[in-house]
């Protein structure tokens, strides 16, 4: 007879069971099948500080007021929360003014002065409302979970309502269309060599998205490092779900109403990039691999002889001895310190790759040290985690162990002493040949909170680059470290720049890259870029040049290519393309003061560097599907050309007035224009009223001391603010206020234009004067007043019809009169 709950009582009387004695052959009483369980009706609640705990009798939900606009929700299926720990959070202080919990017959409502989290007593459905009672985001089902028999813990789920016209953005480096709606995604950091459009998962886990619901934006950050899943109205058109294979259902609701507000608030949780050294914003030339030394020198010489600006040369894995990290192949690089010094004297920084796999080799000091100190990862039964990567059989440091991070950081000493300026961390998903990555039973320290690779996989790469960053910061003294990583988790931006991994030399991949950079930017990772030209495969000259053009407006501008491809430098495609590539790399260098200022705005005020059109005009639903036009900072709009043979492009400009960067023709926004996109050009527009700082041309950052700064100033008949930031370029002196932040207000009417300047900060630049180029005046100027003093005699126009004014760097007000 089969034993079931129904006939159990006829077989034995459960009361006859001896207390505390479990007999192997006894049927187990009360064993429930594993099913998804949902929260039931709310039975009670209590408050502890800024947390409110609601219970259905078994499970508990914590609603925590994190700031006036951020509320965190956590679920404990059996009433006991996991310990509080997150690698994502930056521990920035949050501002909470007032909050309270109000109860009525149906609901509890946890309220701040801007947002309410409303919990339905009957069904535990949670919704988020603004101060006017408008529902921004709401549960479709109550939070639920399913026990995980294999590993313990729970699969945890949240399901939200999705409105018909609701769209979704974010989630890191996904290669699908920009709007996430209609797709399902998986987060499990993966070495995705030559990934295709829509291939998932990729290299990073950024479990943060923004929705736009009826013109109002909000964000959800699901801070869970386990394998996680997001479904944006893919399975059901009226549902958005997110779930994970373990850990806690723990998410932050981040209030808008604008996407920009949401993103800035996400940055208050997870931090921003550090202020980068200015040279890192120049052009970087990379290749798998430049060796021996002579080849590296040849590349450097070519840049200088051909007058193509460049700041950094990368050494890929072949600089090492048998791919052993922190060693040099002395045959190819007999005296690295000398070579790096010589490169530096010609204005080149040297960046080297360092992977996580450490070759199992008793004659190799890094392996021996790691082994002696028990720093390498182990399997569940205490065997070492071993796998093959470039060096052959390897073991892998457990970067989730703080001691390992300190040790690893110290290993960079010799490289730093040799003059290495930056470090490139690769293969840190972690990648293992054959199996792809570690088996899930590998154990990790997880900063004392312990866990298997299921929990640590997605943050392994971030902790590796964190340890690299922190090591460099100590070793390089007062210099800003440069690190670039392939893998990461939310918050990785505090430690590194990222690139999008092994893309392909195809037009489709150029398009994917345009989306990926914007997507990373709205997912908290502003300092990002693609392998310009495509990593694998062969671009033709046109594709490479179009990619260089896009690269000018990628926060990180790095060309890179796989070892089995033809030579891939800006001069590799013949004179015509070389000239165009030079022109665009020069443009990058001219715009560096503007680009550097945009990074300051990111670092200081949480603004993203790239801003997709939807972020500028979210209420216009048409912008939700535009993915090939964006602004860099808030003043320059670009529309990279990503079709072969294209010589025009349709460009939608957001409301307001815009100027063509090349011709200075003015355009009205709020509509689409067909504009020229000749191969030696690309559509670039500047917002009316902008003050764009530019640098005289240099072959590398700091080539010479600037004796005059250039500003392009665009007339506007409404008031527009701009700013310009400068400091020592690569030290931390700015933290002691040794910087200048200059603010400009431009305004005009039919007969006059004014430019006001205010200056803050303690930095003293060497230059004394400005070369102001005034664009778009609707009148013939007859008089210019600088701080009240008249300059009328020598009003000059250049061949681009710009009025030229020389002024002192400390002017307060310039008036241009008809
Ligand atoms: C990986 C990286 C690539 C690098 C190569 C060799 O494929 O993504 O950028 O060149 O490894 O180190």
Q: Give per-residue pLDDT as tens, 452-475.
A: 999 999 999 999 999 999 999 999
Q: Which one of 286, 315, 487, 502 would you pick to mutate in the ligand 1 pocket, going by the greatest count of ligand atoms within 8 A of its CB?
A: 502
Distance CA 230, CA 475 (A): 41
Whether the CB of 660 sits within 6 Å of ligand 1: no
Top mutation candidate among 194, 286, 318, 353 for ligand 1, by most atoms within 8 Å of CB? 353
Helix (H, G, I), strand (E, B) or coil at 551: helix
Q: Which atom of ligand 1 is nearest to the CA of 563?
A: 10
- Span 573-582, average pLDDT: 98
What is the DSSP-derived secondary structure letter of residue 247?
S
Give, as one character, the DSSP assignment of residue 436.
B
User: What is the residue-wise DSSP string for 10-43?
Assistant: HH--GGGSPTT---TTSPPTTPPP---EE-----
Question: What's residue 610's pLDDT?
Answer: 98
Q: How far is CA 79 from the centre of its chain?
A: 35
Quick one: what percent of the chain has pLDDT higher than 70? 97
Q: What is the pTM of this model?
A: 0.95
**Mean per-residue pLDDT, 414-418:** 98
Position 417 pLDDT exceeds 70:
yes
**Is 717 marked active-site?**
no
Q: What end-to-end distance do the CA atoms of the chain give, in Å? A: 103
Any ligand 1 atom below 6 A from CB of 288: yes
Q: Which residue has a Cα nearest atom 7 of ligand 1?
A: 502
Residue 22: band (very low, low, confident or very high) from pLDDT cuts 50, 70, 90: low
Atom of ligand 1 nearest to the CA of 486: 8
In this predicted structure, what is the pLDDT of residue 4? Answer: 46
Q: What are phi and psi of 590, to 5 degrees?
A: -65, -35
d(CA 51, CA 55) in angstroms, rounded, equals 13
Closest C-alpha residue for ligand 1 atom 4: 288
Pairing of strands 796-797, 115-120: unpaired
Query: For residue 34, what pLDDT is reported?
Result: 85
What mean pLDDT is predicted for residues 299-317?
Answer: 98
Paired strand residues for 672 = 652
Q: Is the CB of 317 under 6 A from ligand 1?
A: yes
Q: Is the CB of 245 under 6 A from ligand 1?
A: no
**pLDDT score, position 25:** 62
Is 50 exceeded by the pLDDT of residue 3?
no
The answer, yes or no, to whether residue 690 has pLDDT greater than 80, is yes
| pLDDT higher than 80, residue 372 | yes
DSSP structure class, residue 71 = E
Q: Which pLDDT band, with edges at 50, 70 and 90, does 23 fall under?
A: low
- Angle subtended by helix axes 541-552 and 575-590, to nearest 10: 0
Q: By alpha-carbon position, which residue is closest to atom 5 of ligand 1? A: 288
List C-alpha distances in Å: 749 to 5, 630, 668, 754, 796.
Answer: 85, 29, 17, 9, 21
Which residues lie across from 118 on neighbouring strands? 109, 127
Q: Which ligand 1 atom is at minimum distance from the Cα of 286?
A: 10
Which pLDDT score, from 0 to 100, does residue 1 have? Answer: 38
Contact criterion met (CB below 8 Å) for 140 and 159:
yes
Going from the C-alpha of 126 to that of each of 91, 121, 237, 463, 736, the distances in angstroms are 26, 10, 20, 34, 45
Cβ atoms of 557 and 583 closer than 8 Å: no
Residues present in the chain in total: 818
Catalytic site residue from 355, 429, 542, 729:
429
pLDDT at 33: 83
Q: Is the dihedral of CA 197, 198, 201, 203 positive or negative?
A: positive
Out of 398, 426, 578, 586, the active site residue is 426
Asked if 407 and 471 touch (Cβ cutoff 8 Å), the reply is: no
Q: Give strand pairing partners of 219.
A: 210, 254
Average pLDDT over residues 12-36: 62
pLDDT band at 348 (very low <50, low <70, confident <90, very high): very high
What interhelical angle do 293-305 and 336-345 show, nearest 10? 0
Tens-place pLDDT, residues 254-296: 999 999 999 999 999 999 999 999 999 999 999 999 999 999 9
Cα separation values, 461 from 53, 153, 355, 421, 595, Å: 34, 24, 10, 21, 28
Ligand 1 pocket, residue 426 CB under 6 Å: yes
Position 27 confidence tier, pLDDT thresholds 50, 70, 90: low
Q: Is the pLDDT of residue 392 over 70?
A: yes
Structure token digits, residue 800? 């681009």
Q: What is the 3-state secondary structure (H, E, C) of 555-605?
A: CCEEECCCCCCCCCCCCCCCHHHHHHHHHHHHHHHHCHHHHHHHHHHHHHH
Would you say the C-alpha torsion 408, 409, 413, 418 has a positive or negative sign?
positive
5 or 553, which is more confident?
553
pLDDT of residue 800: 86
How many helices (H) and strands (E) the chain has is answered by 13, 53
At residue 229, the pLDDT reads 98
Give the strand pairing for 387-389 and 392-395: antiparallel
d(CA 280, CA 68): 36
- 426 noted as active-site residue: yes
**What spacing in Å lies between the alpha carbon of 417 and ligand 1's midpoint?**
25
The CB of 316 under 6 Å from ligand 1? The reply is: yes
Beta-carbon contacts of 236 under 8 Å, excluding residues fewer than 6 positions away, are: none
Told to judge if 502 belongs to the known catalytic residues of this protein, a careful annotator would answer: yes
* Ligand 1 atom at shortest distance from the alpha carbon of 501: 8
Choose the residue to mutate in 193, 194, 313, 535 for probing ligand 1, maximizing ligand atoms within 8 Å of C-beta: 535
How far apart, in whole angstroms, are the C-alpha atoms of residue 222 and residue 523? 13
**Measured distance CA(743)–CA(755) in Å, rounded:** 10
Longest dimension (CA), the chain: 112
Structure tokens belonging to residue 402 = 């703080």
pLDDT band at 91 (very low <50, low <70, confident <90, very high): confident
Q: How confident is the model at residue 516 (pLDDT cuts 50, 70, 90)?
A: very high
Q: Is ligand 1 within 6 A of the CB of residue 501?
A: yes
Name the percent of the chain in helix, strand, coil, to the closest 5: 20, 30, 45
Q: Is the CB of 202 within 6 Å of ligand 1?
A: no
Residue 314 pLDDT > 60, yes or no?
yes
**Mean pLDDT, the chain, integer:** 95
Partners of 397 in beta bridges: 376
Mean pLDDT, residues 552-576 taken together? 98
**Residue 517 C-alpha to ligand 1 middle, in angstroms?**
19
* pLDDT confidence bin for 5, thresholds 50/70/90: very low
- pLDDT tens digits for 640-656? 999 999 999 999 999 99
What is the Å distance from ligand 1's center to 426 Cα?
7
**69 Cβ below 6 A of ligand 1:** no
Could you count the other beta carbons within 10 Å of the beta carbon of residue 327? 17
CA of 376 to the centre of ligand 1 (A): 23
603-631 burial code (b ≥16 CB/10 A, e <16): beebbbbbbbbbbbbbebeebbebbbbbb
**Does the beta carbon of 569 lie inside 6 Å of ligand 1?**
no
30 pLDDT band, cuts 50/70/90, is confident
Vertex 491 angle, CA 489 and 495, to 5° = 100
Would you say residue 794 has pLDDT above 80?
A: no
Determine whether the shortest distance from the Cβ of 320 to ligand 1 is under 6 A. no
Q: Is the dihedral of CA 538, 541, 545, 548 positive or negative?
A: positive
Question: If you measure from the C-alpha of residue 484 to the centroid of ligand 1, how many angstroms do you get, rounded to a whole number?
Answer: 12
pLDDT score, position 19: 54
What is the pLDDT averaged over residues 67-94? Answer: 95
């Amino acid at each position: 007879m089969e034993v079931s709950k129904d006939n159990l009582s006829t077989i034995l009387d459960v009361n006859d069971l001896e207390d505390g004695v479990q007999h192997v052959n006894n049927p187990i009483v009360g064993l429930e099948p594993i099913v998804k369980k949902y929260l039931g009706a709310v039975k009670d609640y209590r408050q502890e500080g800024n947390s409110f705990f609601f219970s259905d009798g078994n499970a508990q939900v914590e609603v925590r007021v994190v700031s006036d606009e951020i509320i965190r929700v956590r679920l404990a299926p059996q009433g006991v929360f996991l310990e509080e720990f997150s690698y994502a959070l930056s521990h920035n202080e949050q501002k909470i003014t007032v909050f309270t919990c109000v109860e009525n017959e149906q609901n509890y409502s946890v309220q701040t002065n801007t947002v309410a989290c409303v919990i339905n007593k009957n069904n535990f459905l949670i919704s988020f409302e603004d101060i006017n009672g408008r529902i921004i985001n709401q549960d479709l089902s109550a939070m639920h979970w399913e026990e995980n028999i294999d590993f313990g813990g729970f699969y945890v789920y949240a399901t939200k309502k999705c409105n018909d016209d609701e769209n979704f953005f974010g989630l890191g480096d996904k290669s699908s269309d920009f709007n996430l709606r209609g797709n399902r995604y998986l987060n499990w950091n993966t070495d995705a060599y030559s990934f295709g459009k829509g291939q998932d998962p990729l290299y990073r886990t950024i479990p943060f998205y923004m929705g736009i619901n009826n013109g109002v934006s909000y964000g959800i950050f699901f801070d869970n490092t386990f394998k996680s899943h997001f479904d944006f109205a893919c399975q059901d058109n009226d549902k958005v779900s997110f779930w994970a294979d373990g850990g806690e259902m723990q998410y932050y609701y981040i209030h808008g109403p604008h996407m920009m507000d949401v993103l800035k608030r996400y940055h208050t949780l997870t931090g921003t990039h550090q202020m980068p050294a200015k040279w890192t914003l120049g052009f970087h030339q990379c290749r798998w691999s430049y060796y021996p030394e002579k080849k590296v020198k040849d590349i450097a010489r070519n840049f200088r002889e051909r007058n193509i600006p460049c700041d950094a040369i990368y050494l890929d894995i072949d600089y090492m001895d048998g791919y052993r990290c922190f060693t040099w192949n002395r045959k190819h690089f007999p005296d690295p310190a000398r070579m790096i010094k010589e490169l530096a004297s010609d204005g080149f920084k040297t960046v080297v790759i360092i992977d996580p796999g450490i070759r199992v080799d008793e004659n190799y000091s890094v392996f021996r040290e790691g082994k002696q100190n028990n720093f390498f990862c182990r399997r569940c039964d205490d065997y070492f985690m071993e796998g093959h990567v470039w060096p052959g059989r390897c073991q892998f440091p457990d970067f989730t162990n703080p001691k390992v991070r300190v040790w690893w950081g110290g290993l960079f000493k010799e490289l730093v002493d040799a003059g290495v300026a930056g470090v490139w961390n690769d293969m840190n998903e972690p990648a293992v040949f054959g199996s792809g990555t570690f088996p899930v039973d590998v154990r990790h320290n997880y900063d004392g909170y312990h866990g298997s690779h299921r929990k640590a996989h997605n943050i392994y790469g971030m902790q590796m680059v964190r340890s690299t960053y922190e090591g460099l910061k100590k070793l390089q003294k007062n210099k800003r470290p440069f690190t670039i990583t392939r893998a990461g988790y939310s918050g990785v931006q505090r430690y590194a720049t990222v690139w999008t991994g092994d893309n392909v030399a195809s037009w489709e991949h150029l398009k994917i890259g345009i989306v990926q950079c914007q997507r990373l930017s709205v997912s908290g990772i502003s300092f990002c870029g693609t392998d310009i030209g495509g990593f694998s495969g062969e671009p033709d000259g046109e594709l490479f040049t179009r990619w260089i053009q896009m690269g000018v407006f990628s926060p990180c501008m790095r060309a890179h290519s796989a070892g089995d491809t033809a030579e891939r430098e800006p001069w590799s495609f013949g004179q015509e393309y070389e000239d165009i590539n030079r022109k665009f790399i020069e443009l990058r260098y001219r715009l560096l003061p503007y680009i550097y200022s945009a990074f300051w705005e990111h670092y200081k005020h949480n603004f993203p560097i790239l801003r997709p059109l939807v972020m500028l005009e979210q209420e216009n639903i048409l912008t939700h599907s535009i993915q090939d036009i964006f602004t860099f900072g808030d003043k320059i709009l670009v529309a990279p050309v990503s079709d072969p043979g294209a010589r025009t492009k349709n460009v939608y400009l957001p409301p307001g007035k815009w100027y063509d960067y090349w011709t200075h023709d003015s355009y009205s926004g709020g509509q689409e224009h067909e504009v020229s996109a000749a191969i030696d050009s690309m559509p670039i527009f500047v917002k009316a009223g902008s003050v764009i700082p530019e640098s005289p041309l240099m072959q590398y950052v700091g080539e010479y001391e600037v004796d005059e700064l250039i500003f392009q100033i665009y007339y506007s008949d409404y008031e527009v603010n701009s700013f310009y930031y400068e400091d020592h370029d690569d030290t931390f002196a700015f933290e002691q206020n040794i910087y200048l932040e200059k603010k400009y207000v431009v305004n005009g009417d039919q007969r006059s234009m004014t430019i006001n300047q205010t200056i803050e900060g303690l930095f003293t630049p060497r230059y004394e004067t400005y070369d102001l180029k005034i664009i778009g005046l609707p009148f013939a100027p007859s008089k210019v007043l600088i701080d009240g003093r008249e300059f009328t005699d020598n009003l000059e126009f250049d061949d681009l019809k710009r009025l030229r004014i020389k002024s002192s760097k400390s002017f307060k007000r310039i008036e241009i009169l008809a």
